[in-house]
Every structure is written in structure tokens, then in C-alpha cells.
Structure 1
């Protein structure tokens, strides 16, 4: 089942501070380096939801760091956040790259660096969010240490226990198929295409190749069997990718000594509806807000209210797919 949550809600003030003190001190980070928030995690853990949660609580914009979501097209297959579900938060590097060209780590570093500077020049906080951990590593630990020398980073990782996550991504794919994912990929199918270039590298594209080639020559039962085989292969490949992504994060934390705040969302995935929203707020969004507030403004968690938010936003019926 695809989990949908309400994101943009009427919010309350974060701080127990008098108005004058809030105006003079609150929105002025004290350290010399500019500050950047980076959200990591395996596919399906809720990074997109958390990035929007934080961007509606802090003056921030989101920079996508998922290399597949950077490509234009195949929005269902790549699970991009629809425009209407972004709660008015500006997104960068999301659906901007031609699907027929390669978007390399070097390309990402150059474009993400430019986007970071642009967001900061507007007086806002860059929130870099996505699953391509090798691209994030290339950006943060570049050869000349330019990024580290200019920016102070707050790393958040949304974690979900693998058995729970595997079940969720399986249900999510079933929902994507109901949303006509197969038709979307069929319309993009090219028998002469190179699956090593561009968006065709995405999980959910090459797995359908055999099905689309054989489809015209099979009866209904045979088509159904071959389709289910393709879907099961996508599920296996997605779960394998999630494991690889988590291993990469552990390496960055344990071998590269990145200070990563692990935020456990496992319990959230056991709930539905309002209970899931409340669990997400308590365990993920609220906790992450405290971490980011302390990082940006040197406020301790004791200064925060139960349901924090740094600025008031209109009440919108925004939902998002994890």
C-alpha cells in the first residue's frame, strides 16, 4: 500500500522567545560558514516527506540528490513528487535533465554547488535530499575540500528496518502499477535503446524490456505471467538497491567519519492514517526539526515546543508518496 500523509498544516511557533529577541537574534546564524542540511536514506524511507516538512518549518529550498529523479520524464516510475504535493517549496535538480543523456557525479557536483549558492544568496537554507549517496559524497568530500571549507553540514538519515522497508517498497510498487506505471514505461520503450544511458538505467525500465518485446505475440494469460515476472524483478532490484544504499551510509558514517544523525522511522510504517501522521511527527519530523534548529541557530532542544515550526504556513491539503 502506498502511504500518503498530510504535510502542510497550520503550524505553531518554535520558540519560547519574546518578539524582539526573536527578530534580532533568531534568523542570524552565528558561525562563519554557511549551513547546509543533507537528508539521506535508502529508497522509500521518507526523505522527500522529511525534506518538505523541514522546508515548511525553516526558510529553505530543496536540492534533489537522487540522480534518477534529476531526469525529466517517467514521473510515476521514478516516484517524483508531483508539483501539487510540494507545498509551494522550490525544488532544484528535479526533472531538469534530458532523459537521453548521462547525468554524472561531476554534473551533479557542479549543478548542486550552483544551486546551493543560489539558495544561500536568497537568504534561505539549502536542504539536499535524495538516495544517490555516491553523488552526495562526491559533493561533500570533493578533492579540494572546497565544499567542507565553505559549508557546515548537518547530516540526517531516515532509517527503516530492512524487513519493514522491503514490505513497504513491494506495496508501493503495486500502487505504482495501479497508477499506470506500465503504460508510462511502454510509451517510453524503444527496442533499440541503450539501458546504460540516461533515465533508462532506472529500476523499473529495463525489467520490462522482455515483456514489451513479447507482448504482441502472447495471449492474455501468458502476458499476465510475464508481466508479474517483471514486477517481481523490479521489487527484488529495489530491495537490493535499498540494502546497498544503507551499506553506503554506514561506510560514510564509520569509515569516512561523517557525523550522521540517524532518525528511525520504522515504527511509523506500522501505522496508517492519523496514527501514522502522529508517529511521523513524534519520531521523525519533530525530532529532525530539533536537530536542524540547534544546528542552524544554536538552540537546545529544551527551547522547543511539542509540535515545532519556525514559520507559519497556510493550511494546505498536501500529501506525498514516500
Structure 2
């Protein structure tokens, strides 16, 4: 059977993202260009989805995570690796001096430049990251200039809180195994200001006591300090996920943002190939159909939890 993205490209006549030619999804008679925004709490798979979409449509990705914009601490900030990027161009990722401040205004200015640059290459800008306050500042600027220039498609990857918290806890353990402690140690400074630059990132201030006092303590006490730091990182990451989810609900329910929810809970409950199939069915396949409709101004609605085959059948029917 033809892969999901190939089926979508065939049905919608979408040019392959690997080809360097004009992207005909942008209607020259329409005033507004189109932008896709991938939102969700930390750990829900936003980066994975953005890459999946960028392999379906000619696209480039703009990072909207306020910590991942900094150079360094790749494990601590959970940056997407070069291998995971699969050749898709990324903007605002690992490009800023770790000691500099990066404000919402900075994000808006640099993102606006990146969007125009991407559109100038006839490609689709995909904004992805968990810093929802920055995304809100960009989309709902004081004079609504952004919305006057761009049509937005909001994709929201959601995972039930208990399942996500369990995953986040395991992810922190995995990060520790991959060298998180040694990476954070390189940024330890007894006089450091944890309110500025990359040192604001979860996974830096939590190690302060361990780095500060550990070398002078017995092994057992030092190990206890390390466990406390790791537990604090897990707790703070779960709290961050809750705050991010609260902001998303506010944007949807109070500000009226038209978010397309994608429930990935079943993906996180499965393992191996079953998890991959659930991802394709519940998240990436459905998202690709939603984005295809968005780009082509199709009128057929795609129910958010349809299986991939039914989505394809619905789209095929809508195009005939």
C-alpha cells in the first residue's frame, strides 16, 4: 500500500517536499499567505508531527520553544537532533548565545522575518514549540497585523495528563542516561543568575545544590542530592506541561482560537510498531489531511479522530 503522505500528495496533487520547485498550494489570487502552527504540552510529539508534515508538504520549520532557541544544552532542552530533522530546514533553533535574553518581542521579530523568507521560497512555514505565550504574542499582536497578513491552521497535539506525566518522568530518566548531568555541569557557575538566558531552562537550576556541594560530600549524600535534583526536574516539567495546557485551553475557550485537537494518548499507551501505527492513524495522517484542506481551501470537514483510511476515503469523495 502506498505510504500515507504519498496517498495524500496523489489525491491533492501536492508537490513532493524534496523537489525544489514552486509550491502551487498558495493561490496567487488570495491576499493572505498560510501558516501552520503546531501546539501542545512538552513531550506530546510536536516536533515529530512537524517533521511528518514537512515530508508531506514543501515546508520549513520555525522553532517557538524559548529555550531551544539557544545554542547548547541540547539534551537538557530536548532539542530535535539533526538525524530527527531528516533534512528539513529549521529556523530559530540553537542559534542564540546562551547568555543573551530572548523576549517575546525578539521571537515575533525573528519569526516574522523567517516566515517571509520561507514564503519567498514558495514553501509552507510551520511554527512548532511549547512557548504558547510567544505564539500568542505573535498571532494576536496589538494591531492584529499578523492575522491581517496570514491565515493560520492550529494543530493541537494532546495527551491525557496522567499518561503524559508518566512519559515525561521516563523521558527525564532517559535524558540523565544520555548525559544530561555532565551537560548541565558545564553551565554551572556559583554566581549564576538563573533568571537569564539558557540557565532559565528546566534542568539547570535544579542541579545547583548537587554541583555546589556534591564534591565535598560523602558518596551516599551526594547520590541523594542527585536523586532530589532529578525528581525536582520531573516535577517542574510536569508543572510546565500543566501550565502549557492551561494556556492552550484559554486560547481555545476564551480567545476563540480554532484549534484542531489531536488526541495522541493511545500512542503513548502502546509500544513499538503499534505505537507507530497509532501515531500515523490518530495524529500524523489526520493532521496531513487537515493541512491539505487548509492549503487547498477544501470545504469537507475531517473529523479529528477518523482512521487514516476513512480520512482518505472522505477526502477522495470530497474531491470528486
The normalised TM-score by structure 2 is 0.88
Match of 1:12 in 2: 6
1:26·1:297 contact (CA, 8 Å) conserved in 2? Answer: no
1:15·1:305 contact (CA, 8 Å) conserved in 2? Answer: no
Match of 2:315 in 1: none
Structure 1: distance between partners of 2:145 and 2:96: 25
Deviations 1:135-194 (A, max 9, x none): 000000001111000000000110000000000000000000000100000111111110
Shift of 1:14: 1.5
Structure 1: distance between partners of 2:84 and 2:168: 20
Shift of 1:13: 3.3
Structure 2: distance between partners of 1:268 and 1:18: 27
Shift of 1:90: 0.2
Structure 2: distance between partners of 1:207 and 1:24: 48
Structure 1: distance between partners of 2:58 and 2:9: 15
Shift of 1:33: 0.6
Deviations 1:213-248 (A, max 9, x none): 111111111111110000000111000010000000
Structure 2: distance between partners of 1:112 and 1:66: 12
> 1:114-153 residue pairs with structure 2 within 5 A?
114-153=113-152
SS in 2 for 1:128: strand
Match of 1:109 in 2: 108
What is the root-mean-square deviation in Å for CA atoms of aligned residues?
2.4
Match of 1:168 in 2: 167
Count the aligned residue pairs: 298
> 1:71-82 residue pairs with structure 2 within 5 A?
71-82=70-81
Structure 2: distance between partners of 1:179 and 1:249: 31
Shift of 1:32: 2.2
Deviations 1:53-101 (A, max 9, x none): 0011001000000000001100000000111220100000000111101
1:45 and 2:39 aligned: no
> 1:65-104 residue pairs with structure 2 within 5 A?
65-104=64-103
Match of 2:316 in 1: none
CA 220–253 in structure 1, closer or farther in 2 if over 3 Å, else same: same
2:101·2:196 contact (CA, 8 Å) conserved in 1? Answer: yes
Structure 1: distance between partners of 2:92 and 2:11: 36
Match of 2:317 in 1: none
Q: Which moved more, 1:214-223 or 1:244-253?
A: 214-223
Which residue, out of 24, 27, 30, partners 2:25? 27
2:64·2:127 contact (CA, 8 Å) conserved in 1? Answer: yes
Structure 2: distance between partners of 1:186 and 1:17: 51
CA 118–162 in structure 1, closer or farther in 2 if over 3 Å, else same: same
Q: Which moved more, 1:196-205 or 1:214-223?
A: 214-223
